[in-house]
C-alpha cells in the first residue's frame, strides 16, 4: 500500500509521514463502493490506498453494490463518510437513488461522489438536492484526504460544509441560467449531415458476418498501447513519453512505467491475461435515424436495427445536426452500404490476479494489473480497428505510424454506445446479441450495461470517408418521444437512460 501511494505524493494534500501520523489510531472510518450495475474500480481503489496511508480505516465493498448493501454496511460499521464511485452514465442515477434513500432513512453521514462521468455541477444539480447532509464531489484521489479530514473534524466541518453549499448553489444557478438553444427535432432532421450518395466511395468488406479471435497475442496488442491515459489513471498528468521529462512528476512517472512494463512482461510470459475479440460486417442502410442491418446481400430480410440520436444544440457557425445514421447510405439511395461492430476484451484473468495480490496485501500490484488490462483492452480495440479497415479494403492504402494511430489519422470511426455520439447504453444489448459476445468471448453486460470483464471495449465501425466523432448533447422532448417509439420502450424508461442528455425536466 505504501508503495502505491508514493506515486501520488506530489499531489496529496496530506501525507502520512509529514503529518506525523505513524502509529496513531484511525482518524476516521470510510465506506467505499462502486454502485450497482458498474464494475470499474481502479480510481476507487487508488482513493482507498491514499486514505489508508493517511490513517483512515477503509471498508471497500467492491463493485456492483446495491443501495441496500451500501447503507446496511454504513450503519453496521458506524462509518464517518460514504464514498460512491461509478464510470458509466447509468451510475449517476444510481448515486441519486442512494442519496434519496439516505434522506428517507434520516441518515446523517456525509456522502462523497466520484468517478469519470461525475462532475461538481452534476452532483450539485442532480444528487445534492435529494440529501440534506453534506454531498461532496471529489475530483480525484489527490483531494480525498483533505475532503475526508474536513468532514470528520468538528472544527473544520462547519466551514467546509458552508463553502460546499455555497459552491453548489452557484453551480445550480449557473446551470439554470445557461443559454442553450435547442432546435426542434424535425428541424434538426431537415439539416442533417449531407452526403452526395451518387458519388461517395463505398467499399465492400472482404467478408460478411462475424469472426472470433481467441487467445490473441498480448505481445502484439502491447505495441498498440497508448500510455498517456495510464498515467492519468494514477493522476500523473502528462503525455507519454514527454511526461518523463516533467520536473514535477517525471521521476515517479518513469518508476511507474518501469513497474508497469515489468508486470506487462510477466503477463506476456505467463499468459495470465487472455485477450479475445469478436467482430463483423453486415449489409446496412439508414432509415431516418435508424440503421437497419440485413441478413445477406439480397437485403430482403432485416436482421437487427440500431437506433441513433441526433444533435439539436445550435452552436455558433453550425451548419448541420448530425446523427450516426447520416454516415450510412439511405435505404432509398440505390447504394449498398455496410456497418461493422466489435467487442474486445483483455480482462479475462485480471480480476483473479488482482484478488491474489490483494490477499497478499499488495494493493499497488492489484491496481496495476487492472490498469494494464484496461490499456490492453483499448490497445486491442485499436489493433482490431486497423484489421477491420484492412478487411474493408480501404485500410490497405494506409501508411500510419503509432503516433498517427493514437491521433486517429485514419478513415472511419468506432463510436460506442454510452459515449457522446450515441449516449444510450441500452443499444449495447442489440450489439451484444448481434455478435453473441457472451457466447463467443465471454463478455457480458450488467443490468446497467457495463461490460464484464471491466477491461473490455465495444462499438461500431463506420467507414464513411467524412465520418467524425461528435457529441449529441442535449435533447428535446419531441426527439425523446420519437426515439422511445422507434425503440418500442416507455418514454419514462428512455428518459431514465438518457437523463444526463435531457434538455428538459421530465414530468
Return the active site residues: 38, 40, 91
Radius of gyration (C-alpha) of the chain in whole angstroms: 24
Rounded Cα gap, residues 61 and 217, in angstroms: 34
Q: List b or e across 145-170, with b for residues whose CB sees 16 or more CB atoms inside 10 angstroms.
A: bbbbbbbbeeeeeeebbeebeeebee
Long-range contacts from 153-160, C-beta under 8 angstroms, 24+ separation = 160/134
> Please, how many CA atoms are within 13 Å of residue 283, restricted to the half-sphere of its CB?
13
User: 25: which DSSP letter?
Assistant: P
Residue 395 near residue 410 (C-beta atoms within 8 A): yes
DSSP states of 460-485: EEB--TT--------B-HHHHHHHHH
Angle at 24 between CA 22 and CA 28, to 5 degrees: 115
User: 143: which DSSP letter?
Assistant: H
User: 123: which DSSP letter?
Assistant: I
Residue 131 near residue 108 (C-beta atoms within 8 A): no
DSSP states of 48-95: HHHHHTTTEEEEE--SSB-HHHHHHHHHHTT-SEEEEE--STHHHHHH
Residue 452 host element (H or E): strand 451-452
Residue 428 near residue 418 (C-beta atoms within 8 A): yes
Rounded Cα gap, residues 490 and 494, in angstroms: 7
Grid coordinates in use for 346?
483483455
Grid coordinates in use for 293?
442491418
Task: Kindly give the interhelix angle for 157-176 and 141-152, rounded to the nearest 10 degrees.
Answer: 120
Residue 282 near residue 303 (C-beta atoms within 8 A): yes
Nearest C-alpha neighbor of 47 from the set 37, 59, 38: 59
Residue 80 near residue 28 (C-beta atoms within 8 A): yes
List Cα–Cα distances, 53 to 8, 23, 46, 49, 147, in angstroms.
Answer: 11, 11, 11, 6, 15
> Is 104 buried (19+), middle (13-18) or exposed (0-12) by CB count in 10 A?
exposed
State the residue for C-alpha cell 439516505.
102
3-state SS, residue 406: helix
Strands 444-445 and 337-348, bridge-based pairing: unpaired
Amino acid at each position: 500500500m505504501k508503495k502505491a501511494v508514493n506515486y501520488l505524493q506530489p499531489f496529496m494534500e496530506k501525507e502520512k509521514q509529514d503529518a506525523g501520523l505513524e502509529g496513531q489510531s484511525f482518524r476516521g472510518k470510510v465506506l467505499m463502493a462502486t454502485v450497482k450495475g458498474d464494475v470499474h474500480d481502479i480510481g476507487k481503489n487508488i482513493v482507498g490506498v491514499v486514505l489508508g496511508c493517511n490513517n483512515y480505516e477503509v471498508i471497500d465493498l467492491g463493485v456492483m453494490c446495491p443501495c441496500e448493501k451500501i447503507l446496511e454496511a454504513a450503519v453496521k460499521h458506524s462509518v464517518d463518510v460514504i464514498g460512491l464511485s461509478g464510470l458509466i452514465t447509468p451510475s449517476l442515477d444510481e448515486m441519486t437513488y442512494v442519496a434519496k434513500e439516505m434522506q428517507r432513512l434520516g441518515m446523517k453521514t456525509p456522502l462523497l461522489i466520484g468517478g469519470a462521468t461525475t462532475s461538481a455541477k452534476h452532483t450539485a444539480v442532480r444528487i445534492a438536492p435529494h440529501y440534506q447532509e453534506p454531498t461532496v464531489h471529489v475530483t480525484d484521489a489527490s483531494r480525498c484526504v483533505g475532503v475526508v479530514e474536513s468532514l470528520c473534524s468538528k472544527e473544520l466541518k462547519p466551514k467546509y460544509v458552508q463553502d460546499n453549499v455555497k459552491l453548489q448553489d452557484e453551480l445550480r444557478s449557473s446551470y439554470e441560467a445557461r443559454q442553450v438553444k435547442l432546435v426542434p427535432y424535425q428541424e434538426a432532421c431537415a439539416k442533417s449531415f449531407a452526403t452526395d450518395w451518387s458519388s461517395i466511395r463505398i467499399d465492400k468488406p472482404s467478408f460478411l458476418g462475424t469472426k472470433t479471435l481467441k487467445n490473441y497475442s498480448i505481445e502484439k496488442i502491447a505495441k498498440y498501447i497508448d500510455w498517456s491515459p495510464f498515467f492519468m489513471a494514477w493522476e500523473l498528468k502528462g503525455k507519454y513519453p514527454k511526461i518523463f521529462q516533467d520536473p514535477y512528476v517525471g521521476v515517479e512517472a518513469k518508476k511507474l512505467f518501469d513497474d508497469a512494463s515489468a508486470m506487462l512482461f510477466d503477463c506476456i510470459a505467463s499468459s495470465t491475461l487472455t485477450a479475445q475479440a469478436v467482430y463483423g460486417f453486415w449489409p446496412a442502410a439508414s432509415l431516418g435515424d435508424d440503421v437497419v442491418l440485413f441478413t445477406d446481400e439480397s437485403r430482403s430480410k432485416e436482421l437487427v436495427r440500431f437506433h441513433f440520436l441526433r444533435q439539436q444544440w445550435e452552436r455558433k457557425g453550425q451548419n448541420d445536426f448530425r446523427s450516426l445514421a447520416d454516415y450510412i447510405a439511405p435505404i432509398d439511395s440505390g447504394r449498398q452500404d455496410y456497418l461493422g461492430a466489435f467487442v474486445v476484451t483483455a480482462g479475462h484473468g485480471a480480476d483473479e490476479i488482482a484478488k491474489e495480490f490483494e490477499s497478499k496485501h499488495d494493493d499497488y500490484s492489484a491496481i496495476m494489473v487492472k490498469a494494464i488490462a484496461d490499456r490492453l483492452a483499448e490497445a486491442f480495440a485499436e489493433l482490431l480497428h486497423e484489421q477491420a479497415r484492412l478487411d474493408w479494403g480501404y485500410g490497405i492504402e494506409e501508411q500510419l505510424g503509432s503516433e498517427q494511430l493514437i491521433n486517429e489519422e485514419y478513415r472511419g470511426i468506432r463510436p460506442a454506445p454510452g459515449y457522446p455520439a450515441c449516449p444510450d447504453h441500452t443499444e449495447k444489448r442489440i450489439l451484444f446479441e448481434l455478435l453473441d459476445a457472451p457466447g463467443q468471448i465471454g463478455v457480458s453486460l450488467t443490468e446497467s450495461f457495463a461490460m464484464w470483464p471491466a477491461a473490455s471495449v465495444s462499438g461500431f465501425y463506420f467507414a464513411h470517408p467524412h465520418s467524425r466523432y461528435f457529441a449529441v448533447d442535449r435533447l428535446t422532448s419531441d426527439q425523446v418521444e420519437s426515439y422511445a417509439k422507434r425503440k418500442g420502450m416507455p418514454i419514462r424508461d428512455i428518459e431514465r437512460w438518457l437523463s444526463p442528455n435531457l434538455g428538459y425536466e421530465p414530468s
